[in-house]
Amino acid sequence: MGFAIVRRAYLPTAFWLAGAALLAGCAGDDVVSPAVTTPALPPVTAEQLVGRWGLGSYHRDTDRDRTVKEARAQCRNPYVIKAGADGGVIMNLADEKEPRELLVKPTREGRTFIGPGERPAGDLTDMEIIAVDDTSFTVQWVDPDVSSRYGTMVYVNCAPRSARTAAG
């Protein structure tokens, strides 16, 4: 009877040690984290996001090209991103009617998020910038539920091409 009590006392420790051994075996060079496989984007600043943008959204990658064209057509009624007082940008969060200041939050892994400054980069309330070029940027919501409703959002710069090249 004494042996059974001793065995039960060591059982949680044995499970912990077995789990630690399994995790240690997974820490080898052959394990690739998503941050490593995702190509790093050029750094994005709040100043780059300020402006007038055509906005479109898609749920299937095959719809991206069509959505970019539709977003460009939205420049007749652009989504305006203003500079915030604390170095961020004035934008809407998901399901919020009023825009507010959001910060551009880069990570050491080369990912960039836009979201409330009081929360860490990659928080469920954030958007992640997944693509950026001279004329557009693309974001996905971190929260899977919000992402399934809003889709992947494309912002196309409404400034005339000549104004963009003169400014930078």
The 10s digit of each residue's pLDDT in 145-164 is: 999 999 999 999 998 655 54
Same domain, 55 and 95: yes
Same domain, 47 and 128: yes
Output the pLDDT for position 104: 97
Over residues 51-64, mean pLDDT: 97
Looking at residue 19, its amino acid is G
Same domain, 121 and 67: yes
Residue 15 scores a pLDDT above 80: no
| DSSP code, position 43 | P
Write out the residue range of the structural domain in which residue 73 sits.
37-167
Output the pLDDT for position 42: 72
Cα(104)–Cα(113) distance, rounded to whole angstroms? 6
Helix residue ranges, H only, 27-160: 34-37, 46-49, 64-73, 144-150
CA distance to 29, 88, 114, 133, per residue, from 120 (Å): 28, 15, 10, 25
Over residues 19-25, mean pLDDT: 41
Number of domains in the chain: 2
Strands (E) in 76-135, as ranges, are 79-83, 89-91, 100-106, 112-115, 127-132
Output the pLDDT for position 11: 38
Cα(166)–Cα(110) distance, rounded to whole angstroms? 28
Same domain, 22 and 101: no
- pLDDT range class, residue 135, cuts 50, 70, 90: very high
For residue range 27-54, what is the model confidence (pLDDT) as tens digits? 444 444 344 345 567 789 999 999 999 9
Same domain, 90 and 24: no
Same domain, 24 and 105: no
Same domain, 112 and 76: yes
Strands 79-83 and 51-58, by their bridges, are: antiparallel
Same domain, 15 and 96: no
Residue position matching structure tokens 């539920």: 145
Q: Structure pTM?
A: 0.72
Same domain, 75 and 117: yes
